[in-house]
Structure 1
Amino acid sequence: HMSVVLALVQYFVNNPEELKGTLKVIFQPAEETVTGAEKVIKSGKLPHLDVLYGLHVTPESEVKAKEAQPMLEAAATRTLWLTIRGKAAHAGTPQLGANVIDAFTELNEKLRSIKLKTDLPYSVTTTMVHAGESSNIVPDYGTFAIDFRTRTNELM
């Protein structure tokens, strides 16, 4: 993202006659955590803009190399936060507990086997796992994040 924007800035530095008006460049912090845009807006430092262009790099499976499209139409995303509760046990006697990692592993394999009948790109991806605090205790509590993405709200 940054190198594309910096290349654009360099182009206008080298070709100032091509620019009608003032170019302002904004880099969004924390884009992947979905918190950066809101922080930029709430900072009060975003100047008045007549036009704002955004950019996001997209895999070649969605937009062919050296091509661009104005937007991903109705791109849909959801994050499922999941908590699993089991029963703690000593690692030497795991049969006395209910291991949330085992439960999540089985669930994750089921999620990975989802195959939708569509030509549109989609994904089901585990993006966060946290379970256990000790290497010798079967964890009885775990939180997991699963990211779902599709091209359309209908497919979501």
Structure 2
Amino acid sequence: MSNVLTHYNYLHAIPEPGLQEFKTAAYLAAKLEAAGYAVTCHIGGATGIVGTYDSGLPGPVLGIRADMDALTHIIDGKTIQRHTCGHDAHCAMLLTAAEEIIAENSIKKGKLKIIFQPAEETGAGAKIMLEAGVIDDIDILLGMHIRPIQECRSGQIIEAMYYSSSCTIKAIIKGIPAHGARPHLGVNAIDGAIAAITAVNAIHMNPVVACSAKCTRFLCDSGVTNAIPERAAITFDIRAQYNDTMKELKEKVIRAIHAGAATVGATVESLEIPTELPAAELDPEITKILGDIIVESFGKEALCPPFTTPGGEDFFWYTSKLPHLKAGFTGLGVDAEPGLHHPDMHFDLSALENGVIIHKKSITKFLNEPCTD
């Protein structure tokens, strides 16, 4: 057995939020350095880690990326961090593969870059790594994410995960405060917010292409119960299968917020987009190679076809900003339930060995064998 469970158990016990993965990064960096990698820490002034192994011989530069951050939950009134999206598993699998591939002397050409990225959940991490330039020399970039039980079972692997574009829009709706006994002298911010939400809900897009826009947060409190509130804060979660669909939907949502609020005399005091993730762009050749690796390793019954999810993944900032990248992204079946981001998410730990195998065989394929059959 490999060290994957040892690494997982340690990382699982020290969950840290985005850009605060100090213990996580220190552990990963130390293990990479001990394995023989040249390690760069504190990338972009943050917690990103890159371990580089250069064979010294001509060949492609292969990057494999895993995310490090945990999620913040409020449980029984307490704010805590938990690894409920599997990022601890991602790091454990990649670290184990990185250690073993060097110990086995399997890299015969090119360069391998092991990338541990912070802050995936906030959408900030990939941008930090991009701005630091650590992706610029990479030719092939691979990623992997564990999957919920509803998508594929333990022992199965999805050869290509097509994540959707996602976007968060926050708006402050401004009315005119007044006494509850004289509502005609004011404009109720609640009414303005509701009108904005109704306008967004009335948006129609091409039903052939998956997309959605919905209000996920509504905050309003004037401090008393007999006054017309002046401000209301609303947040929308927006998703679309394709980037061009997202562009159209986002424009319509912004117009609807303004127009809806205006129907009752309210205005949009501020509007911001704190997070935005592009849709997946994967290379067909890399996807085929990954599919072949899955079949060679575990048999045809283990291969799941490409899967489109409304979930977002900041990995695809890399392909969005660097179009030359040949990217592949697999989904590892681990029977995760009740679901990702659930505070009680759990999964079949034995399936992590499969992730290690996929990583190792991918490295061997690109940095030892020819890139194409």
One of 93, 101, 115 as aligned partner of 1:25? 115
| Amino acid in the other structure paired with 2:93 | A
Structure 1 gaps, min length 5: none
2:191 matches 1:105: no
Quick check: which one's helix share is greater?
2
SS in 1 for 2:194: helix
Kindly indicate whether the alpha-carbon contact (under 8 Å) linking 1:12 and 1:18 is maintained by their aligned counterparts in 2.
Answer: no
> What residue is the counterpart of 1:122 in the other structure?
211
2:237 matches 1:147: yes
| Amino acid in the other structure paired with 1:53 | L
> What residue is the counterpart of 1:5 in the other structure?
91
Q: Could you tell me how far 1:148 is from its partner in structure 2?
A: 1.9
Q: Deviations for 1:30-64, whole angstroms, at most 9, x for unmatched residues? A: x333322233344x484876443234567788xx4
SS in 2 for 1:145: strand
Q: Could you tell me how far 1:124 is from its partner in structure 2?
A: 0.9
**1:47–1:148 CA distance, 2 compared to 1 (3 A):** closer
Between the aligned partners of 2:240 and 2:224, the Cα distance in structure 1 is 37
Kindly indicate whether the alpha-carbon contact (under 8 Å) linking 1:132 and 1:138 is maintained by their aligned counterparts in 2.
Answer: no
| Amino acid in the other structure paired with 2:196 | L
Structure 2 gaps, min length 5: 1-85, 247-373
Between the aligned partners of 1:67 and 1:135, the Cα distance in structure 2 is 55
SS in 1 for 2:176: coil
One of 32, 35, 39 as aligned partner of 2:128? 39
Number of residues of Structure 1 aligned to a counterpart in Structure 2: 150
| Amino acid in the other structure paired with 2:126 | A
Name the % identity: 20
SS in 2 for 1:118: coil
| Amino acid in the other structure paired with 2:235 | A
Kindly indicate whether the alpha-carbon contact (under 8 Å) linking 2:117 and 2:126 is maintained by their aligned counterparts in 1.
Answer: no
SS in 1 for 2:232: strand
**1:78–1:58 CA distance, 2 compared to 1 (3 A):** farther
Kindly indicate whether the alpha-carbon contact (under 8 Å) linking 2:215 and 2:234 is maintained by their aligned counterparts in 1.
Answer: yes
2:202 matches 1:95: no
SS in 1 for 2:142: coil
Quick check: which one's strand share is greater?
2
Kindly indicate whether the alpha-carbon contact (under 8 Å) linking 2:130 and 2:136 is maintained by their aligned counterparts in 1.
Answer: no
Between the aligned partners of 1:104 and 1:23, the Cα distance in structure 2 is 48
Between the aligned partners of 1:80 and 1:24, the Cα distance in structure 2 is 33
Kindly indicate whether the alpha-carbon contact (under 8 Å) linking 2:176 and 2:188 is maintained by their aligned counterparts in 1.
Answer: yes
